[in-house]
Structure 1
Amino acid sequence: MITASDDRAKAILQWLTNDLNLDITQFEPASSDASFRRYFRVQHQQQHYIVMDAPPDKEDTAPFIKVAQLFAQAQVNVPDIIQHNNQQGFLLLEDFGSSCLLDQLNDTTVEALYKDALNSLFTLQNNVDIQNCDLPHYTPELLQTELLLFSDWFLKQQCKLTLTHAQQTIINDSYDFLINSAIQQAQVCVHRDYHSRNLMHLSANNPGIIDFQDAVIGPVSYDAVSLLRDCYISWSDAQIESCLLPYFQQLKQAKLVACDFDQFKRDFDLMGIQRHLKAIGIFSRLNIRDGKPAYLRDIPRTLNYVINISKHYPELNEFHAFLVQNVLPASKRTL
């Protein structure tokens, strides 16, 4: 007898068995993510599927369905949506298995796996028509809102820092600099969370891409830096550059970028700082607001990226010094 642990899980089972007439012989948690969504792995007639549970008062399934269709048309591998119940917030999806890129990455596999991931990313960027895809834009306001997550949740709440007027000015100027860098880049379709936990490792048509519902039109380097300077695993600068150069050459050949590699690398670095500041803020919020402290362990690696990259850019000298002198000691006390 298959049983469910809570009311929404019971409602999922009822939907699968009563409405869809499936014979469910397995029902178990597959994963949860940093949102209010949960995932269950179910079995019907020896076939596995994933059920997404997205409570309608907290999550909207419509963007997921829309972006899944857009990405499938762009010929990248996203899970088929077999059935959906938007009213209750349930989706029955193709199962890509439980092995993500992070599970498979090591010094031997890194080159081949990142090549697959960057090829998929290039396919997405090359095949989505940003004029007609009806995705929201990564506006300066959205970039600023994301950067403020670092100020509000990490500096103020996680680290308990009280900023001086001079420090606040340094932060504001640095945020403006990062936003201006992002908006002058070539614009493409952006997955927005393209990293090793959202890319499933498959034997064919690798990788399987998940968690794409927040896609936007935005800076060309955004997804590449999410992947290569991943919050969950780090690589040497030499390894990153050896992956980045062939990807840049693909973009250049397809006329998706017009700049040279030095400019692209600068854009990539600065975009990474914006993303990593946002991620640190989100990890802090997950701990403080949502009671998910496990993400705190990823902050030191992510903060390390920001410190290491910011020292190469004179425009961020003061911000770099603030991070080293004030933020790093405070983070060590509170993490």
Structure 2
Amino acid sequence: MTEPVLERLLADETQTERLGEDLALALRAGDVLALKGDLGAGKSTLARALIRALADDAGLEVPSPTFTLVQSYDTRVPVHHFDLYRLTSAAELDELGFEEALAQGAALIEWPERADGYLPKATVLIELVQHGEGRLARLSGQGVTFDRVARSLAMRGFLESAGWGQAQRRHFIGDASARSYEIVTLAGEAPRVLMNSPRLVLGPPVRDGKPYAVIAHTAQSVSAFVAIDRALLAAGVAVPRIDAQDLDQGFLLLEHLGSEGFLDGNGEPVAERYEAAAQLLAMMHGKAWPHRMEAAPGIVHDVPPFDRDAMLIEADLLIDWYVPAISGEPASEALRSGYHKIWNSLLGRLQGSEYTLMLRDFHSPNIIWRGERSGLDRLGIVDVQDALIGPCAYDVASLAMDARVTMTPEIEKRTLDAYVAARHAAGGFDEERFLEAYAIMAAQRNSKILGIFVRLEKRDGKPYYLRHLPRIRDYLKRALSHPALADLRNFHSAHGLLEERAL
């Protein structure tokens, strides 16, 4: 099969450096980029720009590894710069620690022809050739590394179409999904956020012939974000303004709302900020929201319901992932059946509860604090694509039992009280029914998160999520203390599901 090829014209050194930056944004541990070209073709310029972008240090000293053969850099993705010009045999790569380097980070290889047949099949070849007064970069390869490189180059093309082609790109954040974000800066402009949101890969069927994401109503394209963002902005919620969009490719150029969060200098939650966020929820929950929202002319997003199937398949993550992790074996059919019976009964109690637009992950990583502003405008909301129509209590539970922050019972109560007071002030609020729904939704959400955090470690190789498990267990215990959840509390106790376990 013929390998795909991408070509970029590099008219000058600045464009060569910009390509290095684009490559840096695509790089992951284990990747190999092979830089091929004659002496003076610009290989070192390209490598230097890539390394400086990874380090976010334009003045970083990046010497040629011609004599040392390899230079290593402790950057965001550790990178090892090899120069094989003086290599006499490809086998000498073993002596240079090539395999160890790939286990730790990524590799840039100059003069890759000296290692012919030795480099991984997924190596991306970048050949620089003379083209008039400049250079032509020809990129070829196959597999996920090349796909990432191609997408990064497409993002540069998107920036060019938006008038931001000369912008500097720097990694901002990623999340547990395939989405990622960059900060882009351009002289004379306020920084923007570049959102990279590839279409969701649905995965195999898990129930009734449907993939998990379909049952759970996870957003499948960036159109969901755009539609919900526009509706929230029109309603007075501080979400990012969208300056440019490519719905087909999944790229957005967004207003940068800021970087200050909900924690103090010691990493502790600031109670007043959580109270303000609860008041924002109360304002939102007092509004009527359409179930159909427009992303662009002719493109409408139907906001899915948080229905029983979605709630159950999320709660099942505790059974599917957490239980095997703590017990060493899959959950028995008897345990699964008992769990479902109780949850079906609990979800029936939600009938008659207040339903509204719920943002689903309304917690500190997705809320920006803008203290220089006033009122509810102090809160910027940045993650909205998975919104559903569901119980208003869900987002309150997401906030008051913040999965990434230890919310003491006192701060949880202050957050909850702020919401309840604001709803009472607006009139027509059934506090007793809300508090029951709050406990049910808190139990459902924290059951889901226990499973997700184990799945992220077991399936996706992200062990750092496990450190949150003691907190999530504590949150689930708090939720189960409500009288309406007595059967579920007894079930967990009988099966030892909330005992402290080392994974």
The interval holding the TM-score normalised by the smaller chain is 0.7 to 0.9
**What letter matches 2:278 in structure 1?**
L
State the shift of 1:123 in Å.
2.1
State the shift of 1:267 in Å.
2.1
Q: Residue 76 of structure 1 contacts residue 123 of structure 1 at CA under 8 Å; is this kept in 2?
A: no
Task: Map 1:177-196; keep pairs closer than 5 Å.
Answer: 177-196=345-364
Q: Are 1:145 and 2:313 counterparts? A: yes
Q: Which residue of 2 aligns with 1:238?
A: 410
Q: Which has the higher contact order (CA 8 A, sep 6+)?
A: 1
Q: Distance in 2 between matches of 1:283 and 1:42?
A: 31
Q: Residue 170 of structure 1 contacts residue 318 of structure 1 at CA under 8 Å; is this kept in 2?
A: no
Q: Residue 368 of structure 2 contacts residue 379 of structure 2 at CA under 8 Å; is this kept in 1?
A: yes
Match of 1:65, SS? helix
Q: 1:97 to 1:131 in 2, by over 3 A?
A: closer
**What letter matches 2:193 in structure 1?**
I
Task: Map 1:4-15; keep pairs closer than 5 Å.
Answer: 4=22, 5=24, 6=26, 7=149, 8-15=151-158
Task: Map 1:304-323; keep pairs closer than 5 Å.
Answer: 304-313=474-483, 314-322=486-494
Name which of 62, 65, 73 aligns with 2:234. Answer: 73
Q: Are 1:174 and 2:316 counterparts? A: no
Q: 1:60-96: per-residue Cα shift (whole Å, max 9, x none)?
A: 1100000001111221100001001122211100012
State the shift of 1:27 in Å.
0.9
Which aligned segments of 4 or more residues in structure 1 are displaced greater than 6 angstroms?
A: 104-108
Q: Distance in 2 between matches of 1:15 and 1:99?
A: 28
Q: 1:22 to 1:289 in 2, by over 3 A?
A: same
Match of 1:267, SS? helix
Match of 2:455, SS? helix
Name which of 169, 185, 197 aligns with 1:43. Answer: 185
Q: TM-score, normalised by structure 2?
A: 0.60
Q: Are 1:299 and 2:456 counterparts? A: no
Name which of 109, 117, 131 aligns with 2:270. Answer: 109
- Once the two structures are aligned, what percentage of the paired residues are identical? 27
Q: Residue 450 of structure 2 contacts residue 473 of structure 2 at CA under 8 Å; is this kept in 1?
A: yes
**What letter matches 1:24 in structure 2?**
Q
Unaligned stretches of 5+ in structure 1?
A: none
**What letter matches 2:492 in structure 1?**
H
Q: 1:24 to 1:105 in 2, by over 3 A?
A: farther
Q: 1:98-143: per-residue Cα shift (whole Å, max 9, x none)?
A: 2222467977831x21232112212222234356664221111111
Task: Map 1:1-335; keep pairs closer than 5 Å.
Answer: 1-2=17-18, 3-4=21-22, 5=24, 6=26, 7=149, 8-17=151-160, 19-46=161-188, 47-56=190-199, 58=201, 59-102=220-263, 109-110=270-271, 112-130=272-290, 134-156=302-324, 159-202=327-370, 203-204=372-373, 205-255=377-427, 257=429, 259=430, 261-313=431-483, 314-322=486-494, 325-326=496-497, 328-329=499-500, 332-334=501-503
**What letter matches 2:393 in structure 1?**
S
Stretch moving more, 245-254 or 90-99 = 245-254
Q: Distance in 2 between matches of 1:104 and 1:270?
A: 33
Q: 1:259-308: per-residue Cα shift (whole Å, max 9, x none)?
A: 2x344323212210101111112222222222222222112211121124
State the shift of 1:158 in Å.
6.7
Stretch moving more, 166-175 or 190-199 = 166-175
Q: Residue 311 of structure 1 contacts residue 320 of structure 1 at CA under 8 Å; is this kept in 2?
A: no
State the shift of 1:48 in Å.
0.4
Match of 1:252, SS? helix
Q: 1:162 to 1:311 in 2, by over 3 A?
A: farther
Q: Distance in 2 between matches of 1:55 and 1:106?
A: 32
Q: Residue 147 of structure 1 contacts residue 278 of structure 1 at CA under 8 Å; is this kept in 2?
A: yes
Bigger-Rg structure (1/2): 2
Q: Distance in 2 between matches of 1:155 and 1:108?
A: 30
State the shift of 1:168 in Å.
3.0
Q: Residue 105 of structure 1 contacts residue 113 of structure 1 at CA under 8 Å; is this kept in 2?
A: no
Q: Distance in 1 between matches of 2:490 and 2:473?
A: 16
Q: Distance in 2 between matches of 1:274 and 1:105?
A: 30
Unaligned stretches of 5+ in structure 2?
A: 1-16, 27-148, 202-219, 294-301
Which structure's residues are more often helix, by fraction?
A: 1
Match of 2:499, SS? helix
Q: Distance in 1 between matches of 2:338 and 2:441?
A: 18
State the shift of 1:24 in Å.
3.2
Q: 1:163-193: per-residue Cα shift (whole Å, max 9, x none)?
A: 3454334312332233223344111111111
**What letter matches 2:407 in structure 1?**
W
**What letter matches 1:333 in structure 2?**
A
Q: Residue 30 of structure 1 contacts residue 41 of structure 1 at CA under 8 Å; is this kept in 2?
A: yes
Q: 1:264 to 1:140 in 2, by over 3 A?
A: same
Q: 1:207-261: per-residue Cα shift (whole Å, max 9, x none)?
A: 100111111111121111100111112333333223322421332343563x2x3
Which structure's residues are more often strand, by fraction?
A: 2
Q: 1:27-70: per-residue Cα shift (whole Å, max 9, x none)?
A: 11100011100101000124200001112364511000000011
Q: Distance in 2 between matches of 1:171 and 1:94?
A: 44
Q: Number of aligned residue pairs: give it.
A: 327
Q: Residue 277 of structure 1 contacts residue 306 of structure 1 at CA under 8 Å; is this kept in 2?
A: yes
Q: 1:103 to 1:284 in 2, by over 3 A?
A: farther
Q: 1:26 to 1:193 in 2, by over 3 A?
A: same
Match of 1:82, SS? strand
